[in-house]
Amino acid sequence: MTSSTVLLQASLRQSRGSSVAQVTAGGEMVGPLLRIRNRRDIEFVSTSDVESMTGSAPNVEASDFMPLFDLVNTSMGKDSSDPVWASAHELIRRYLINQNPDTQDYVRLCDKGKLEQYTNKACADTSAGSAKINGNRADSYYCGSRVHSIDWSGAAHGKVNDLCHAEAGSAYKGNGICGSLSKKQLVLNFFETVPKWKQNPLLLNVPSVDCILGLGDCDIHYCQDCSALCGLPKNGMKTDTSA
């Protein structure tokens, strides 16, 4: 097993701290499963965990994430230009959308360019991004806000991705929050950071889920137009989003 594979394996932890297991079901090895409550609450769990929490076995065919996990682990040494990363990226995107109606709604609004509706939904006090973490909204971490009591000294790679002041419509440009990273890097970010969100909310700021879903530009608008996140006056940072 390569060191990169070990890193990927080690990132997948259950909430109780033990390694996510591959569990036998019907004679086949399955797991981890991806449990998506919303786009800010995603967990990797084993089939046995799901059964213990729900009292019934999960639908393995619908929920098994192991084939993609294996695909990524066996492709770690492949260049970022290899088609396998575009395939993995698309598989994650489809999985995230298909498994959660709330995520579907965000993608629908963003695809249709309904920025105000998207922002109103995401900024609402009942939204997932409004959940409090250490007294701050979860999406204050996601947006890279500097106006709240967030200690960014432990940010991944020492970098804070500042959506609060990003150029509107720039997310997928070559120097943008999403476009500056290869699909391989976004896929690896997904596996290496999402399982640790609850333990380290600074990792919400590492590009992964929203970039893969195509929400980057809508999120720039949201971060800047929802005053609870970046402390900006409404519409204060918006520029032309038609590009």
pLDDT confidence tier of residue 148, bands split at 50, 70 and 90: confident
pLDDT of residue 37: 84
| Residue 12, pLDDT score | 52
Q: Which of 4-8, 17-21, 142-146, 190-194 has the lowest mean pLDDT?
A: 17-21
> For 113-136, how does the pLDDT look when each residue is reduced to its tens digit (9 = 90+)?
999 999 999 999 999 999 999 999
**Which has the higher per-residue pLDDT, 9 or 210?**
210
Amino acid occupying residue 240: D
Residue 6, pLDDT > 70, answer no
